[in-house]
């Protein structure tokens, strides 16, 4: 003789709410073994405990209720190898997305920690200097490192440029608005004397900047917006006004640090 449970008893023993059991019934996924035609009471059996356990296990493995229903309609209650492969692929994709999100959170945490622990903003004067300049369009910030290593550096060496230690190089962006793939950028590197221009390098003297708000940026270049946000908030709080284009000076980068999180740049914004 089969043991019968009321829906309340079945709910308590299986730790599934009555609301969920009624929902499963509506989906024809777990029908009561018996429904009293006079009282409407629903009764469940031990066998349905096993069915419910299977349903819950399949859901934990990522199968939707519609997919579980289809398995029961096929009377297999066991996924096929292709179905399991598809679920594994879904999990792998989700893992990649979660790993990427975790890395972004860690980067953000590290950045906030670095600007908390270090004095990153200062007001400085920038002297007049002679620079070797190269202005071009690059497809992304990542292309800047290769441009310096493969084009600008060899040309400066060919022209016999001498750079005073410890070295000072920076970029100035000329875009009127943000463009992720069409960046009008000018690379400047301090040199000891004016040279003869070439098709790649032009020499010029930059005037002194009386006041420049300088902020250290830690991390890859596509996160400059974080530092610009902090910089302009500081300017607003201290009654400063931006004048002219900011310079981005590069201290550590792809040329000496493989990990982009260890790259150090300094944003220098002329202010009044």
Task: List, for residues 20-68, the tens digit of each pLDDT value.
Answer: 999 998 888 888 888 888 888 889 988 888 888 888 888 888 888 888 8
CA distance 43 to 8: 9
According to DSSP, residue 271 is labeled: B
- Taking the mean position of all CA atoms in its chain, how far away is CA 21? 41
> Options 1.20.1440.130, 3.40.50.1950, 1.10.1510.10, 1.10.1660.10; which CATH number does 4-78 get?
1.10.1660.10
Contacts of 159 (CB under 8 A, 6+ apart): 132, 195, 196, 198, 201
Question: Is the domain 121-270 a CATH 3.20.80.10 member?
Answer: yes
pLDDT value at residue 118: 45
Note the pLDDT tens digit of each residue in 103-124.
Answer: 888 877 776 666 554 457 888 9
For the chain, 272 residues long, the average pLDDT of each consecutive 10-residue run is: 85 88 88 86 88 88 85 76 87 91 83 57 90 91 82 92 89 80 89 93 94 88 81 88 88 83 88 92
With 0-12 / 13-18 / 19 or more C-beta atoms within 10 angstroms meaning exposed / middle / buried, residue 229 is: exposed
What is the DSSP code (8-state) at residue 20? H
């Amino acid at each position: 003789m089969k043991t019968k449970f009321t829906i309340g008893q079945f709910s308590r023993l299986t730790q599934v709410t009555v609301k969920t059991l009624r929902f499963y019934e509506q989906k024809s996924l777990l029908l009561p073994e018996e429904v009293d035609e006079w009282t409407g009471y629903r009764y469940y059996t031990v066998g349905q405990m096993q069915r419910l356990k299977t349903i819950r296990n399949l859901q934990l493995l990522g199968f939707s209720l519609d997919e579980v229903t289809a398995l029961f309609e096929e009377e297999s209650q066991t996924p096929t190898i292709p179905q399991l492969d598809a679920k594994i692929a879904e999990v792998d994709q989700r893992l990649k997305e979660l790993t990427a999100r975790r890395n972004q959170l860690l980067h953000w945490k590290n950045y906030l920690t670095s600007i908390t622990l270090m004095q990153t903003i200062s007001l400085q004067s920038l002297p007049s200097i002679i620079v070797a300049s190269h202005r071009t369009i690059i497809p992304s910030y990542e292309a800047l490192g290769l441009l310096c290593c493969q084009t600008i550096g060899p040309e400066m060496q060919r022209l016999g440029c001498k750079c005073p230690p410890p070295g000072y190089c920076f970029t100035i962006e000329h875009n009127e608005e943000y463009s992720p793939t069409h960046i009008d950028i000018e690379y400047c590197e301090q040199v000891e004397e004016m040279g003869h221009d070439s098709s790649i390098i032009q020499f010029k003297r930059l005037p002194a900047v009386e006041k420049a708000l300088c902020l250290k940026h830690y991390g890859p270049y596509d996160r400059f917006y974080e530092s610009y946000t902090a910089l302009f908030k500081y300017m607003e709080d201290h009654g400063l006004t931006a004048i002219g284009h900011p310079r981005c000076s590069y201290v550590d980068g792809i040329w000496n640090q493989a990990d982009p999180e260890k790259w150090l740049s300094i944003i220098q914004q002329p202010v009044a």
